DNA sequence: GTCTATATTATGATAGAC
DNA sequence: GTCTATCATAATATAGAC
């Protein structure tokens, strides 16, 4: 707990970065060690195996998700709007972690698949009280997934979001979201 | 052209299958050959490299997309509705091909990333005449991506679709889709 | 805690028999 | 067209010095 060693964080950052920019195939132990500026031995001191690296990344994601949830619940524009907008926040800490874990998930990492599924349930339960129908809730989650997917697809480059606010209005209206002012 | 050899198709099916069920990591030449019931040498006669395998899968996807497009345009319930419904058609030939190529794409295969991007443009252009606004069009594409993403995530198992028809109605209404009867 | 070997296995690809 | 070796390289992981 308390304060994780700097080198450990550097390695985890490097793992995440390579996953995002070049994909899972490129994220080998050698490559990650080089990216982090440590030797392979150094990396293996902190993470004894590749699975240990994955677990650490999932843990990071879970932590950031919890923080984000608190922020969303406090957002004056409403939870649902905050949620969709948040899924378009490419490049922030949370989005990077989710996308990186998503890459692992689409590669057969059972732990990561499970982590993403848990994440979806968490979001579902958090949004439920604010949306009138289950279908509306599903719509919101699907749009968020779509936005995420398009971000994830664009390996290494920043994707284009056209008119996010108009989209958010359209979705929240159609889904039947409780007005934040109400 | 004309009629591709049976063994070639078997290998391609095996490649696709392993990609879907176990992910890109598992889809090695050895594994695919075994899955197809041929030797590695046999596989390599038809596909000289891993990239050749990828290219063939992309070609299959492009072909199936073209066929699907014809069907969608002829669908009496409207192109947009047919499109969303089609993205939920887990397990059919087209969906399998797209998901498999998607797996390659999320692994840094430049060819596959390009192929998925092309696909998205194709869909965008095909739907455009039937949707009132660009935002509405974007909504439809994002929901489709979301549905696809959830299918793709669930490695090896079948995902749950709650009330697809209600979702389609909600999306097409919100997006402002030209009525098929009109 | 971090490093340099080194072992071990997996992977993509070649060569050549049948 | 399909097979059985075989090779070269790259990946994960270990051992042990500093």
Q: In this predicted model, what pLDDT tens digit does every residue of B18-65 receive, in sequence order?
A: 999 899 999 999 999 999 999 999 999 999 999 999 999 999 999 999
| Chain B contact set for A150 (CB, 8 A) | 142, 145
- Model confidence at B130, pLDDT cuts 50, 70, 90, reads very high
How would you class A158 by CB atoms within 10 Å of its CB: exposed for 0-12, middle for 13-18, buried for 19 or more? Answer: exposed
Question: How large is the C-alpha radius of gyration of chain B?
Answer: 18
Cβ pair A36, A14 in contact under 8 A: yes
- Model confidence at A182, pLDDT cuts 50, 70, 90, reads very low
Q: Nearest CA to CA, how far is B2 from chain A (Å)?
A: 34
CA-closest candidate to residue B144, choices B77, B98, B100, B97: B98
Mean pLDDT of B166-172: 93
What topology does CATH give the domain B1-48? Arc Repressor Mutant, subunit A (1.10.10)
Mean pLDDT of A53-60: 98
Of B113, B145, B153, the CB nearest to A155: B113
Domain definitions of chain A by residue range: 1-48, 57-175
Residue B182 pLDDT exceeds 50? no
Average pLDDT, chain A: 90
Mean pLDDT of A61-88: 91
Dist. CA A49–CA A32, nearest whole Å: 13
Which pTM was predicted? Answer: 0.92
In this predicted structure, what is the pLDDT of residue B147? 86
| Chain A contact set for B107 (CB, 8 A) | 23-25, 103, 106-107
Average pLDDT, chain B: 90
Query: Residues 6 or more apart from A122 whose CB is under 8 A from it?
Result: A65, A69
Cβ pair A90, A159 in contact under 8 A: yes
Mean pLDDT of B57-75: 95
Residue A83 pLDDT exceeds 70? yes
């Amino acid at each position: 707990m308390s304060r994780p060693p700097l080198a450990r964080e550097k390695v985890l950052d490097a793992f995440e970065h390579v996953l995002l920019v070049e994909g899972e195939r490129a994220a080998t132990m050698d490559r990650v060690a080089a990216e982090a500026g440590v030797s392979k031995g150094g990396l293996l001191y902190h993470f004894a195996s590749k699975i240990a690296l994955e677990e650490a990344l999932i843990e990071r994601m879970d932590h950031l998700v919890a923080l984000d949830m608190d922020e969303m619940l406090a957002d004056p524009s409403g939870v649902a709007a905050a949620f969709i907008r948040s899924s378009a926040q490419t490049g922030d800490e949370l989005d990077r972690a989710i996308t990186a874990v998503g890459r692992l998930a689409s590669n057969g990492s059972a732990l990561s698949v499970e982590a993403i599924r848990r994440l979806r349930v968490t979001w579902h339960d958090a949004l439920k009280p604010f949306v009138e129908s289950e279908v509306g809730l599903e719509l919101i989650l699907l749009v968020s997934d779509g936005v995420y997917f398009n971000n994830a697809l664009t390996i290494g480059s920043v994707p284009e979001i056209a008119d996010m606010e108009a989209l958010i209005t359209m979705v929240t209206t159609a889904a039947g979201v409780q007005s934040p002012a109400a």
